[in-house]
Structure 1
Amino acid sequence: MPTQGGTAVARPALVDRECLEQRELATLAPYAVCSLHSRGRVQPEAVDEWRTCFQRDRDRIVHSRAFRRLAHKTQVQPLPGSDHVRTRLTHSLEVAQIGRSVARRLNVNEDLVEAICLAHDLGHPPFGHEGEHTLNELLSEAGGFDHNLFTFELLDVRERRRPHRPGLNLTYEVREGVLKHGSAPSARQIERVAEEGLRPWEAASLEAQISNLADEIAYNSSDLDDLMRFGDGNGERLAGAVRELEVYRRIRAHAASRELEEADLDSSTSRKVLITEMVGQAIGDCVEATVRNLQRCHIRSVADVRRCGDRPLVCLDSELESMYGELRWFLTVNFYRTHKVRVRAEEGVDAIRRVFAVLVSEPSRLPPAWRGELDCRDRRAVVGAYIATMTDRFLLDLDARLR
């Protein structure tokens, strides 16, 4: 044993998986999903000595190629516009931070929330929602395209940790959280949930519901921030329009300090004050609204959560949700449909259409690994999946090479 001045120095106590699991059982709320109670993995595997199953899932997602590609995929604003523009990667990190904050206050499983948050956008194709709409149209006779379903395909099949084992082999709870993501799952999502044995009749876990609302809080606040930072160049007009929003008035009325009251919204610092207050207040509102639902529905266990399938337990209050509706319309008019965003989106859409047409007509130009799928899958579906994995930059480069 090491000594210091002749006195033995004890070895520091380490925290292993069993300790973490027991800590969860002892401290988390009774309706939280504990790692020890996970329904497991499709392919059984040995447990890790130091990490819980949900911590391992999070780590596998972070180290996946699909996660790294998010750094070069459009969120809303065209990527070449600024080094500070948000990407799918920064958005996912912001969602995870918000999700963990909500989970911590509600005393549920932060690691499970974080894993779902980090994975939720992996299946987005290049050029944001316009890219998704285009792929869905091109694949209309081959099953369509849904980024939530493609996220699941990436995690379950296309990402590989072992040479002869497809997918990341994530836990039931993370896979369920990904497939049940979204306020209104599509019919194809529900069908896939049933196919995978993920119980479509059950409500998602509280942790999955938190990740869904964290996504909404993140994109509303970050899109407003990006609009004011990279908008139409008329900062004074935008600032005036923002001040007229009900959500701004509410944020200002409940602000923790007088900084927002004094802010002119034209400066970077003032915008940060606004967005900080907006996120913080939304988190607090979410927690209070969720607590009311937990009490009203007498939620005392995970099974109780699962039985409440008619509407989410994790939510915002109706007043703030209505204000968010006004904000989303404001962002649609002043950001999502602006000329700068549309021009770049149309450039991406045109590239997707051209690359799709070339590869469908000349599948020999697909990479070997993708050509190997042509014997068992519709050619259009294979090409669509290949395009969906691309970053904005790779798509444009490939489009130029194929011309």
Structure 2
Amino acid sequence: MAQTGFCDSKALLDLHKKERRVPLRTWANSCLPKERCPPAESMERWEMVPKAEQDSKWVRVPLSAEEGIILDYAQMNTTHADGPKEEAMLRCLHGLQDLRILVPSLLRHEMELAMDKLGLIYDRTYAWDIFSDMMRSQLRDTFPSADLPNPFTENTRAILVDWLIQVHEVFHFSEESLYLAVHLLNRCLRQIKVSVASLQLLGVVCLFVAGKKEECLLPEVSELCYLMENAYTKHQLLRMERRVLCGLKFNLSHCPPLHFLLLSASIARCSNKMVWMARYLLELSLLEGQCVMFLPVQLAGAALRLARLVLQEPSTPESEAAWCISSTIHVGSEATLLKIMQILAVAAARARTRETRATYIKFSTADTMCVSHHPALKGAPCLLGLTSMQT
């Protein structure tokens, strides 16, 4: 486990060792989600709308690339119900290639069912609009390269992310908090001047800020300092939080690749084991500095494809048809997806012996179906044509 510290050469706490686990109280988010039903006033106003207007159809209208929009919709007059069929095209922006022609009505229907099943929407009417916004929002904060400013290295960043995964597990935060925290960390390393001695403090602050956005319960600042063996004071932590928020201009929005993964897996009718395997591979991407250049939807698509290749589950005509529909979401060229799959395959093959093993341990439990112990992961690079020299 990573033992390199960032402040006065102190070692990072290995939270997977029971004898050193910090005695923090459990932060299980036991709050049950509220019943997802529209307010009574909204329902009354909706019932007053004529039935013809409620049933009005929607037609997709592609917008200009300058607006940074992948796809959008405009209401179609009901008197032209027999007009042209809906067009369906994912616009690949900012250098994306391989335009996919979709089956609009089928994909839209499957997307509505998937979002409803995952509890991501209140009303199916807005499912496709939400998905469109997810596709647009991932283009706002992209990284042109994986290079880190001096004096940081990929190994230093991987050690910090590995430790943050352990802290995240201690707090029982949601997975969205982890992906948001690492995303904020990637942005801060490129936009804020931070010394190596303050790197651990920056990582904890990113997780703290992500928790404020995603969680119901938060740890005390003093407990965060205790996790860092009191190498930093409360004042230093709060001052770093102010620097992060001002440096990022309070822009904390991020659509995690996990959402695209779960949507794609639901549409593709993937088994539970395949979903857990894909989630494991996707979390491994957080440790890989090269993956910051790719879009969340591309990372999700590559993780799901690699999981399918590793498990080699028997398929049926129905499952193949569902997979084809799901694959249309993963924008980008086949070469891009293959490159990501190769990165994840090498990371999975090395995970057992690497110093940063938090994700490997996390996905080795019965709750995750022990996917990190799957024997086929050792030869995952060979499945993609990589030689032992490349791994």
What range describes the TM-score normalised by the shorter chain of this pair?
under 0.3
Structure richer in helix, relative to its length: 1
Q: TM-score, normalised by structure 1?
A: 0.24
Q: TM-score, normalised by structure 2?
A: 0.25
